[in-house]
Chains A and B, each alone.
Chain A
Amino acid sequence: MFERKRKLDDFTSEIEAHIQLEIERLRDQGLSEEEARASARRSFGNVMQAEERFHESSHWLWWDHFCHDIRYTLRMLRKSPGFTVVAVLTLALGIGATTMIFSAVYAVLLKPLPFKNPDRLVFVRKKNPPRGWIRNPISPTEILAWRRESGVFEDLAAFTRSSCVLTGSGEAEEDPCEITSSNLFPLLGATPLRGRTFSADEDKPEGPPVAILSYGLWQRRFGAAENVIGRAIELNGTSYTVVGVMPANFSHLYASPYTTVPEIWVAGIALSQLHAWNDYFGVGRLKPAISLQQAESQMDTVSGRLEQENADLKGWRAELMTLRMAVSGDTRPALVVLMGAVVFVLLIACANIANLLLARGASRANEFAIRSALGARQERLVCQLLTEGLVISLAGGVFGVLLASWGGKGLVVLAPPFLLKSAPGLASGTQDLRVLAFALVTVLMTTFLFALAPALQSARPHLTETLKETGRSSAQSPRSRRFRSALVVSEIALAMVLLVGAGLMVRTLAQLGSVNLGLNPSNVLTLRVPLSGDRYKHPESQVEFWEHVLAAVKALPGVEAASVSRGLPVNDWSGQFFTTSDQPNPPPGQVPDANYVIAGPDYFRTLQIPLRTGRSFNERDTQGAKRVVIVNEALARLYWPGQDPLGKQLRVGSPGSTAPWLSVVGVAGNVLGQGPDAGFLPEIYIPYQQFPWLLGGPQHLLVRTSANVRPETLVRGVVQEVHRVDKDQPAADIATLEQVAQEPMTQQRMVMALLLSFAALALFLSALGIYSVLSYSIAQRTREIGVRVALGAEPGAVLRLVVGGGARLALLGIAVGMAAAFALTRLMTDLLFGVRPTDPVTFCVVAIVLAITSLLACYIPARRAVRVDPLVALRYE
């Protein structure tokens, strides 16, 4: 690996040459061969000493020592395979867990986003603090005004998510797509792989319809054809010209990870100052030296003017986030908690190995005493011991990284879909050089953590005593015993904190699982059919399509009920304004809003949402019939408190809309559609046959199966029926309602699974710690116990003596851990639901579990103590 700067051979021959030259010179002066040789040697001095000095002056001396230490260490470790395996495995688990979580932390929170100067990019949304609305999309009015007047942006681009049905050349497919302003690509610093991006002309509504393809779509649908540029494709029934293809590595991380990754980008955003629809998201590049707060405050000045001119914008203010925050936002607390947890596991592992090393150090006291008596300096002994530690932790590190890359695959399975979207590098995280560098630093740090104290202790041997006693009963000094006890106490305390964290997550998931959503999500199949093409230009034809599909699906065996809707009952939200006939002109900024659900007949029966009063929709609620609406309890209570909501009137849209008045014919039970945290929000149900065009019409098919039929088994039959009605319509997002309802919990589920495994590991390691300390101290006290037994001590008394010692440590650890957990669990508040961070039940259960485990760990060595034969023990000395 390293070449010595100059070989010793080279030096020796130089000296030989020197002496030879001197001999020749002296001989020339007339001395005899013998005399010349003697004199030359004399004037040179000590050859050996010169060589030694040369040796020491060569800088690689430490390297020689190091190599020697490594060889020695490997010999030592081979001789005690039990110790080696336990130490390496413990460290491998600790370092593996740490590396795995760090690779996720790096991928999600630290790795630079793949854009030009990503630090200056901000995600632009808006908030309305008086009404408690946050993270709202923004309107063209605001985008144009902020871009022009705030003076904080180098540029501000806008995009909106859409859905494109691609027809012609093969089967129709629905692809997520984005309508973007032309400046988005240059703003991100992205260049196309083929062709070009959009030009400013193409932003105009009358501009030519042009589109850009994703690399994946280009490969899959167009066979990577070079001539795709300039080709016409049909999107939602309109012809578009392909002008470019983005490279495979073009990232979607400029948008929220909750949105789907677009396959097509479409120009023609047509931002107009007159449009206050909140349909767009903004990505801005801040000018240098403008901070986020500065930008927000200058944008708010602009907003202040806008709300004077446009009542729809009243109360709205800019909400900026760095792109990194916007993309990783909700994952941050989970990752921070997990990172803390693995550091705890690693500390426990270190404490454990330090303990093992201390025990070994005591049994090797003799060896060190002899080396030290033979003149080994203390630094050399410390170096030797640190090298041993380094070899162990390097081995642990190698296995740990293997474990981490293996565990990383498990992490990908556990991780919520949005996490994978926000960190595409998650799956291959451990292959990143920076992650490996982190693992190496961890290895070095752990080496110092676990090896330094034992090394310092062992390298300071009490020469005379140790050698006199031939090392046999070199009883540990009180200081060393105290240190080892402190290690065990801290291990148990750390395990306590981890167990409490895991326990809180278990309670959280139990609480989440037992939440009554207000509907029955089991046995419901959902899929989405976005109707497109000329055939469905008229809303009546959409109604016709759904009527046919519903009739066919209901006839399938195993189907109990089926309906259709715009929007799913969970994790879907389409907030819109409405007004009631009681107050047709609310002041601006106080217009009521609700989630709009466009629902078919049997909607409530299919989802098993109870009707509190009135009736459900039926087949007679058609175009010609009286216009009806159903509201939920929350809305009725909010706008008609203490009154009978039946027969009340409301109207779709902002005040002054010309939409017809709708009569409330029923009140449905509340549904926790936006997750348990959001509570019950007002909702309006509108019969799709009367308003098939509203919000783009219904898209979701909901099918309830009989109790004994699993909904997954019906997928093929249902899709077949859809295609029998129209083979050109894609069936997308096929899932059970249970899966949809569970999705928001995947993060908590992941945190729980990981915390549980870390806590189990911590529990095991700390039990091992207490076990090894007791075993060691019993081995040391064999004689004492023998004397006690010889003097008539009952086995019970011996057991109590030993177990009592361990139990004291365990109790102290539990007490310290409780205090630490009490202080630390509040960092988890964001992850918890229905349980306080200081939940007494969790704390008590965890303390009991830990106490029982510790007692078990004490009991095994204690049994050995009881079996001590006094005769053997006494003869031993």
Chain B
Amino acid sequence: MSTQENAERLELLQGTLDLLILRTLIFGSQHGQGIARAIQDTSGKELLVEHGALYPALQRLEERGWISAKWGVSSNNRKARFYLLTAAGRKQLVKETDKWKRLTGAIARILGAEGAES
């Protein structure tokens, strides 16, 4: 995992981190490192997530009541703070996913049209 490797990865778009965190948590509770790892792994290592940037986002989501947190023990017997999707968070995820799909669809249509013209 060198810096060059990082440079080739995609930077996250503003606001998408929240969506990714919520999505990751749909499979059950997870700690911060697990979330970071899951986002990187499931994106086919395309996305660049600075682990430190995850925490303000988690903090924000917790404040809005979309996720809740409590201390627990990880699979390898380490104390870690586990995050859990709340009912409100589930609703938000549906809303955000829908929004995201419409946005990417629209952008894809525009880019597709441009591509056809040129």
Which residue, of B33, B34, B36, B78, has the highest number of chain A Cβ atoms within 10 A?
A: B33
Of chain A, the residue at the smallest CB distance from B1 is A39
Q: Which of the residues B52, B56, B78 comes within 8 Å of A21, measured between beta carbons?
A: B78
Selected from A13, A21, A39, the residue in CB contact (under 8 A) with B33 is: A21
Query: Given A18-B31, A45-B50: A50 and B55 within 8 A (CB)?
Result: yes
Q: B81 in the interface, Cβ–Cβ < 8 Å?
A: yes
Contact of B56 among A18, A42, A47, A50 (CB under 8 A): A50
CA distance in complex: A45, B32 (Å): 14
Q: CB distance A57 to B80 under 8 Å?
A: no
Contact A43 B59 (CB under 8 A): no
Q: Across the interface, do A44 and B81 meet the contact criterion of CB distance under 8 Å? A: no
Contact A54 B55 (CB under 8 A): yes
Interface centre among B32, B55, B74 (most CB of A within 10 A): B55
Contact A17 B76 (CB under 8 A): no
Residues of B within 8 A of A46 (CB): 52
For residue B13, CB closer than 8 A to chain A, the reply is no
Q: Per-residue 0/1 for A333-356: is the Cβ within 8 Å of any B Cβ (1 yes, 0 no)?
A: 000000000000000000000000
Contact B74 A44 (CB under 8 A): no
Closest to A23 in B: B33
Q: Is the CB of B51 within 8 A of A18?
A: yes
Assembled-state Cα–Cα distance A662/B33 (Å): 114
- In the complex, what distance in Å separates the CA atom of A13 from the CA atom of B55? 12
Nearest-Cβ distance from residue B60 to partner chain A, whole angstroms:
7
How many A residues touch B, CB cutoff 8 Å?
Answer: 25
- List A contacts of B80 (CB < 8 A): 14, 17-18, 21
* Nearest CB of A to B97, in Å: 25
Would you give the shortest CB distance from A255 to chain B, in whole angstroms? 58
Does A20 lie at the interface of the complex (its beta carbon under 8 Å from any beta carbon of B)? yes
Instruction: Give the residue among A13, A22, A43, A45 with the most B Cβ atoms within 10 A.
Output: A43
A39–B3 alpha-carbon span in the complex (Å): 10
Contact with B along A27-50 (1 / 0, CB 8 A): 000000000000100111111011
CB-defined interface of B47-82 with A at 8 Å, one 1/0 digit per residue?
A: 000111101100110000000000000101011110
Q: A24, A45, A53: which contacts B51 (Cβ < 8 A)?
A: A45
Bound complex: CA A43 to CA B39 (Å)? 13
Q: Do A25 and B81 have beta carbons less than 8 Å apart?
A: no
A44 touches B31 (CB 8 A): no
Partner of A44, one of B34, B50, B59, B79: B50
Whether A24 contacts B55 by the Cβ 8 Å rule is: no
Chain A contacts of B34 at CB under 8 A?
21
Q: How far is the CB of A854 from chain B (nearest CB, A)?
A: 58
Q: Is A11 an interface residue (CB 8 A)?
A: yes
> Which residue on chain A has the smallest CB distance to residue B53?
A45
Query: B59, A54: Cβ atoms under 8 Å?
Result: yes
The residue that A22 contacts in the complex, of B33, B55, B60, with Cβ under 8 A, is B33
Contacting residues, chain A, for B51 (C-beta < 8 A): 18, 22, 43-45
Asked whether any CB of chain B lies closer than 8 Å to the CB of A694, the reply is: no
Verify if A302 is at the interface (C-beta below 8 Å from B).
Answer: no
Please report which residues of chain B, range 75-118, place their CB below 8 angstroms from some CB of chain A when the two chains form the complex: 76, 78-81
Q: How far is the CB of A35 from chain B (nearest CB, A)?
A: 10
Minimum CB–CB distance for B21 against chain A, Å: 14
Q: Which residues of B contact A19 (CB under 8 A)?
A: 33
Q: Interface code A389-409, partner B: CB below 8 Å = 1, 0 otherwise?
A: 000000000000000000000
Q: Decide if A42 touches B1 in the complex (CB within 8 Å).
A: yes
Q: Which residues of B contact A456 (CB under 8 A)?
A: none
Given A24-B76, A39-B1, A57-B59, A49 and B52 contact (CB-CB distance below 8 Å): yes
A44 to B56, CA, bound (A): 13
Q: Does A735 contact B (CB under 8 A)?
A: no
Given A25-B37, A42-B1: A17 touches B55 (CB 8 Å cut-off): no
Q: Are B31 and A54 in contact (CB under 8 A)?
A: no
Q: How far is the CA of A47 from the CA of B54 in the complex (A)?
A: 12
Would you call A53 and B81 a contact (CB within 8 A)?
Answer: no
- Cβ-defined contact, B1 with A11, below 8 A: no
Chain A residues whose CB sits within 8 angstroms of the CB of B50 once the complex forms: 43-45
Nearest CB of chain B from residue A852's CB, rounded to whole Å = 65
The CA-CA distance from A19 to B54 in the complex, in Å, is 13
Q: How far is the CA of A22 from the CA of B32 in the complex (A)?
A: 10
Distance in Å: Cβ of A267 to nearest Cβ of chain B? 65
Q: B residues within 8 A CB of A11?
A: 55
Looking at the assembled complex, report how far the CB atom of A51 sits from the nearest CB atom of chain B, in whole angstroms: 9
A22-B51, A43-B1 known; A17+B79 contact, CB < 8 A: yes
In the assembly, what is the distance between CA of A311 and CA of B76, in Å? 107
Given A17-B31, A21-B80, CB of A47 within 8 Å of CB of B52: yes
Closest to A50 in B: B52
A14 and B78: CB pair below 8 A?
no
Which residues on the B side are within 8 Å of A325 (C-beta)? none
| Contact B60–A14 (Cβ < 8 Å) | no
The chain B residue with its CB closest to the CB of A31 is B1
Is residue A15 contacting chain B, with contact meaning CB distance below 8 A?
yes
A50 vs B58: C-alpha distance in the bound complex, in angstroms? Answer: 12
CB-contacts of B31-47 with A (<8 A): 31-34, 36-37
For B78, list chain A residues within 8 Å (CB): 17, 20-21, 24
Q: How far is the CA of A39 from the CA of B32 in the complex (A)?
A: 17
- Tell me the complex Cα distance, A57–B32, Å: 18
Q: Considering only CB atoms, which chain A residue lies closest to B74 in the complex?
A: A21
Digitize A678-701: 1 where CB-to-B-CB distance is under 8 Å, 0 elsewhere: 000000000000000000000000
B1 and A18 form a contact (CB under 8 A): no
Shortest Cβ distance from residue A25 to the other chain B in the assembled complex, whole angstroms: 7
Query: Is the Cβ of B55 less than 8 Å from the Cβ of A15?
Result: yes
Give the distance in Å from the alpha carbon of A45 to the alpha carbon of B56 in the complex.
13
Q: Which chain A residue shows the least CB distance to B37?
A: A25
In the complex, how many angstroms separate the beta carbon of B50 from the nearest chain A beta carbon? 4
Neighbouring B residues of A53 by C-beta, 8 Å: 55-56
A21 lies within 8 A of B55 (CB): no
Q: Which residues of A contact B37 (CB under 8 A)?
A: 22, 25
A20 to B78, CA, bound (A): 9
Identify which of A13, A18, A19, A25 gathers the most chain B CB atoms within 10 Å of its CB: A18
Most chain A beta-carbon contacts within 10 A, residue among B31, B37, B52, B79 = B52
Residues on B with beta carbons closer than 8 Å to the beta carbon of A42? 1
Distance of A10 Cα from B58 Cα, bound (Å): 14
The 0/1 profile, CB within 8 Å of B marked 1, for residues 126-139 of chain A is 00000000000000
Quick one: which of A17, A24, A25, A44 contacts B52, CB cutoff 8 A? A44
> A39 to chain B: which residues have CB within 8 Å?
1
Using Cβ atoms and an 8 Å threshold, which residues of chain B touch A17? Answer: 31-33, 74, 78-81
Q: Which residue of A lies closest to B51 (CB)?
A: A44
B28 to chain A, nearest CB (A): 17
C-alpha spacing A375/B1, complex, angstroms:
38
**Which of A10, A11, A21, A39 is the most central at the interface, judged by chain B CB atoms within 10 Å of its CB?**
A21
- B residues in contact with A21, CB < 8 Å: 31, 33-34, 74, 76, 78, 80
Chain A residue, CB-CB nearest to B3: A42
A50 to B51, CA, bound (A): 10
Chain A: minimal CB distance from B43 (Å): 15
Among A19, A46, A57, residue most surrounded by chain B Cβ atoms (within 10 Å)? A57
Cβ of B18 to closest chain A Cβ, rounded Å: 14
Give A15 to B34 CA distance when docked, in angstroms. 12
Question: Of residues 250 to 284 in A, which have CB atoms within 8 Å of B's CB atoms?
Answer: none
Least Cβ–Cβ distance between B82 and chain A, in angstroms: 10
Knowing that A17-B81, A19-B33 touch, tell me 19 more A-B residue pairs with CB under 8 angstroms.
Answer: A14-B80, A15-B52, A17-B33, A18-B51, A21-B31, A21-B33, A21-B76, A22-B51, A24-B76, A42-B1, A43-B1, A43-B50, A44-B52, A45-B52, A45-B53, A50-B55, A50-B56, A53-B56, A54-B56
8 A-B pairs (CB sep. < 8 Å): A14-B32, A15-B52, A17-B78, A17-B80, A21-B78, A43-B50, A45-B50, A50-B52
Chain B residues packing against A (C-beta within 8 Å)? 1, 31-34, 36-37, 50-53, 55-56, 59-60, 74, 76, 78-81
* Contacts from A to B (Cβ < 8 Å): 10-11, 13-15, 17-22, 24-25, 39, 42-47, 49-50, 53-54, 57
The 6 closest A-B pairs by CB, nearest first: A45-B52, A50-B52, A21-B33, A44-B51, A45-B50, A18-B33
